[in-house]
């Protein structure tokens, strides 16, 4: 049931603008508000500013102007240390998984707890037994139950497995918000569904807010509570999937609906042959 706590926005951006150098802004004057537990999909072809917007939400990219507020804290007003702490509660997963290849799976997951690791332990690569236990739990929750994998080097895993490790790394942070940058673009069709189901499941159980950038229409329609479409750095659509008509899609992707359909089909076909 909705109550006062749920009504307060988890993630808020106001008049957010980011321009790189003297080029035209990647995103311009964006104002949005996401509630706790919402599953948001940022939709659009590549280059419209989804990545930039996403990265502004944890200040991996500093906006040129505007305010970003996560869980009540304004990120721009935080000290360096404050920002690090704020990031502890924001988990992020990436298209290319971004694992450290030479490290073991388990260690990769424990890196999610680097923020809370004491200096001495960090210098000697000495995670505590509790960290190890939390990592194992996170891996199990992320769907990797084959314990033989845990000590293997991360680069020996398949794409789907790697993304699960990345998700485990995010889970160990016990985040309140999940940011996902094209998390399924490098996965095959079967894995895509599994990973999306996993993320949805975690978000529902823990009441997490998810902000995910995608360009796969069908996936967006299936999983999102709310779709925000970007075009040329501004919001052109903001509403539930049901309202995402063909006309809107054409405007977002700047192509006819048939062309969009064809592209999406080709992309899915390519993914299933990997």
Partner 1 sequence: MSTGPTLNETALRAGSFKMTPLRMGVMLVAVGVYWTSIKGTEMSIQEFVTGFPAIIDLLSQMFPPDWSYLKRLGWPVIETLQIGIISTVVASILALPMAFLAAKNVSPHPVIYLPIRLFLTVCRGVSEIIWALLFVVAVGLGPFAGVIALIIYCVGVIGKLLAEAVEAVDPGPLEAMTAAGASRWKVFLYGAWPQVLPLYLSYCLYYWDHNTRQAVVLGFVGAGGVGYALFFNISTYYFEKAMMAMIVLVLLIVAIDRFCLFLRQKII
Partner 2 sequence: MTTAIASGVLDAVMEERRVSRRQYMIIGMVVLAAALWSAWGTEFNIPKLVNGLPMIYDLGGRMLPPDFTILEDLMGPMVETLEMALLGTTIPIFFALPLAFLCAVNTTPHPLVSVVTRLIVGTFRTVPELIWAMVLVTAVGLGPFPGVLALTLHSIGGLGKFYYEAIESADPGVMEAMEAAGASRFKIIWFGVMPNVLPVMMSSTLFYWEYNNRASTVLGLVGAGGIGLALTHALQDFRYPEVVTCLILIVLILVVIDRISAFLRGRII
Q: State how far the alpha carbon of 164 is from the alpha carbons of 105, 197, 206, in Å.
A: 10, 12, 17
By CB under 8 A, residue 183 contacts partner 1: no
d(CA 21, CA 138) in angstroms, rounded, equals 40
Least separation in angstroms between CB 136 and partner 2: 6
**Residue 58 contacts partner 1 per CB under 8 A:** yes
- Decide: is 185 part of the binding site for partner 2 (CB under 8 A): no
Q: Closest separation between CB of residue 158 and partner 2, Å?
A: 20
Binding mask 66-105 for partner 1 (x = CB under 8 A): -----------------xxxxxx-xxx-x-xxxxxxxx--
Query: Please, what is the minimum distance in Å from the beta carbon of residue 123 to partner 1?
Result: 7
Q: Which of 6, 74, 96, 145 binds partner 2 (CB under 8 A)?
A: 145
- Encoding tokens for residue 182? 């094209």
List the single partner that 151 binds among partner 1, partner 2, none, CB under 5 to 8 Å by kind.
Answer: partner 2
Q: Return the number of the residue (60 or 136) whose C-beta is nearest partner 2.
A: 136
Taking the complex as a whole, the smallest distance from the CB of residue 51 to partner 1 amounts, in Å, to 11
Bridge-based pairing of strands 209-214 and 39-43 is: parallel
Residue 150 partner contact from partner 1, partner 2, none using kind-dependent CB cut-offs of 5 to 8 Å: partner 2
What, of partner 1, partner 2, none, does residue 145 touch, CB below 5 to 8 Å by kind? partner 2
Query: Strand pairing partners for 231?
Result: 234
177-181 and 209-214 as β-strands: parallel, antiparallel, unpaired?
Answer: parallel
b or e along 152-177 (b: 16 or more beta carbons within 10 Å of the residue's beta carbon)? eebeebebbbbbbbbbbbbbbbebbb
Stretch 70-109 residues interacting with partner 2 (CB under 8 A): 106
In this chain, which stretch among 84-92, 137-145, 168-176, 255-263 interacts with partner 2, using CB under 8 A?
Answer: 137-145
Q: Are 219 and 196 in contact (CB under 8 A)?
A: yes
* CA-based end-to-end distance of the chain: 43
Handedness of CA 246, 248, 57, 75 (dihedral sign): negative
Helix ranges restricted to H, 72-158: 80-88, 105-110, 119-123, 129-141
Residues binding partner 1 (CB under 8 A): 58, 60, 83-88, 90-92, 94, 96-103, 111-112, 114-115, 117, 122-123, 125, 166, 169-170, 173, 179
Residues binding partner 2 (CB under 8 A): 106, 129, 132-133, 136-137, 140, 145, 147, 150-151
């Amino acid at each position: 049931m909705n109550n006062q706590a749920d009504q307060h926005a988890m993630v808020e951006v106001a008049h957010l603008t980011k321009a790189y150098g003297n080029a035209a802004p990647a995103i311009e004057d964006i104002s949005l508000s996401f509630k706790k537990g919402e599953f948001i999909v940022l939709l659009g072809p590549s280059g419209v500013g989804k990545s930039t917007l996403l990265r502004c939400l944890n200040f991996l990219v500093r906006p040129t102007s505007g305010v970003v507020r996560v869980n009540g804290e304004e990120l721009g007003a935080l000290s360096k240390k404050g920002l690090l702490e704020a990031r502890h509660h924001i988990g992020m997963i990436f298209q290319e998984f971004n694992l450290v290849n030479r490290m073991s799976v388990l260690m990769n997951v424990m890196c999610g707890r680097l923020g809370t690791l004491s200096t001495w332990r960090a210098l000697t690569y000495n995670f505590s037994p509790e960290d190890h236990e939390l990592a194992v739990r996170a891996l199990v929750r992320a769907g990797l139950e084959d314990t033989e994998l845990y000590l293997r080097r991360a680069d020996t895993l398949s794409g789907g497995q790697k993304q699960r490790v990345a998700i485990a790394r995010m889970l160990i942070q016990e985040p309140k918000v999940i940011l996902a940058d094209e998390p399924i673009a490098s996965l095959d069709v079967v894995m895509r569904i599994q990973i999306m189901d996993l993320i949805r499941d975690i978000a529902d159980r823990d009441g997490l807010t998810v902000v995910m950038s995608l360009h796969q229409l069908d996936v967006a329609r299936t999983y999102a509570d709310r779709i925000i479409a970007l075009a040329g750095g501004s919001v052109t659509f903001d509403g539930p999937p049901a309202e995402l008509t063909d006309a809107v899609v054409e405007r977002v992707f700047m192509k006819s609906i048939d062309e969009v359909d064809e592209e999406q089909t080709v992309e899915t076909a390519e993914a299933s042959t990997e």
